[in-house]
């Protein structure tokens, strides 16, 4: 296996061989199980259209799963829907980027409705990737300076893969999502904003679905773009 050249630099080969999602059954979001959550393998997975998340197995234990949903939830930057009430709510918060990455990730674990798969192992790996410039966070602060919402994700080239978000005050997670979309939209080049699955909540914000094949084709076209976080100041 060779290194992969991306707009974020070369990603070295992983010691693990993950299944190509193009070979997975179209009715299965889970592509393969196993390997380790080391940073290089995680980055290689994203370039393949996979992301890691624990999965329950028959023994009652959890294994590391590698997922490629079909269909895949994505958000076209020009299709973001911001309601009048949400636009008004945004005035009540202050937004920052990459100022409290680990706090955001731990908050997604504790306060997010979809973050119960996050473990200390995930936090260690993604915090390492944050230090290397691949993982990024959005922080939403209230008037009292409290962290009340946020999200985090992986950026490789023109891909931003949103992983999880949380809120402690109404609309705070939506504000985080709107803010990262606005940031990405400022950057030149084609961007692919991956949200994994389209939920009813995300659908109201403009998230749509495309087939796994279409997602993988788009992914291959954006990986060579320069990453937004290296182009636009934080």
Burial class (CB in 10 A: 0-12, 13-18, 19+), 86: middle
| CB proximity list for 13: less than 8 A, separation 6 or greater | 1, 2, 3, 40, 44
The domain that contains 15 carries what CATH number? 3.30.70
Instruction: Please check whether residue 8 is in contact with residue 134, taking contact to mean a CB–CB distance below 8 angstroms.
Output: yes
To the question of pTM greater than 0.85 for the whole model, the response is yes
In tens, the pLDDT along 72-114 reads 999 999 999 999 999 999 999 999 999 999 999 999 987 655 5
Q: What's the number of domains the chain is made of?
A: 2
Residue where one domain finishes, among candidates 23, 39, 67: 67
Q: What is the pLDDT of residue 234?
A: 43
Q: What is the pLDDT of residue 114?
A: 57
In this structure, the answer to whether residues 63 and 76 fall within a common structural domain is no
In this structure, the answer to whether residues 47 and 121 fall within a common structural domain is no
In this structure, the answer to whether residues 113 and 31 fall within a common structural domain is no
In this structure, the answer to whether residues 89 and 198 fall within a common structural domain is yes
In this structure, the answer to whether residues 58 and 76 fall within a common structural domain is no
Distance of CA 229 to the CA centre of its chain: 14
Q: Residue 159's domain spans which residues?
A: 72-230
In this structure, the answer to whether residues 152 and 63 fall within a common structural domain is no
Of 46, 39, 43, 56, give the one whose Cα is nearest residue 121.
39
In this structure, the answer to whether residues 53 and 137 fall within a common structural domain is no
In this structure, the answer to whether residues 216 and 102 fall within a common structural domain is yes
Q: What is the pLDDT of residue 113?
A: 53
Distance of CA 81 to the CA centre of its chain: 19
């Amino acid at each position: 296996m060779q290194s992969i050249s991306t707009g974020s630099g070369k990603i070295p080969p992983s010691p693990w061989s993950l299944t190509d999602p193009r070979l997975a059954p179209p009715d299965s979001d889970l592509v393969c199980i196993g390997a380790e959550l080391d940073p290089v393998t995680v980055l290689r997975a994203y370039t393949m259209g996979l992301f890691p998340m624990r999965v329950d197995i028959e023994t009652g234990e959890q294994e590391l799963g590698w997922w490629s949903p079909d269909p895949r939830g994505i958000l076209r930057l020009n299709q973001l829907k911001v309601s009048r009430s949400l636009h008004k709510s945004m005035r009540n918060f202050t937004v920052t980027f990459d100022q409290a990455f680990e706090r955001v990730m731990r908050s997604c674990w504790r306060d997010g409705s979809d973050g119960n798969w996050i473990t200390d192992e995930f936090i260690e790996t993604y915090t390492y990737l944050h230090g290397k410039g691949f993982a990024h966070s959005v922080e939403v602060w209230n008037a009292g300076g409290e962290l009340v919402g946020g999200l985090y994700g992986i950026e490789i080239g023109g891909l931003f893969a949103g992983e999880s978000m949380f809120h402690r005050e109404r609309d705070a997670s939506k504000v985080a999502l709107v803010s990262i979309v606005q940031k990405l939209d400022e950057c030149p080049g084609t961007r692919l904003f991956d949200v994994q699955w389209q939920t009813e909540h995300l659908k109201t914000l403009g998230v749509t679905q495309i087939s796994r094949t279409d997602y993988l084709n788009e992914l291959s076209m954006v990986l060579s773009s320069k990453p937004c976080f290296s182009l636009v100041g934080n």
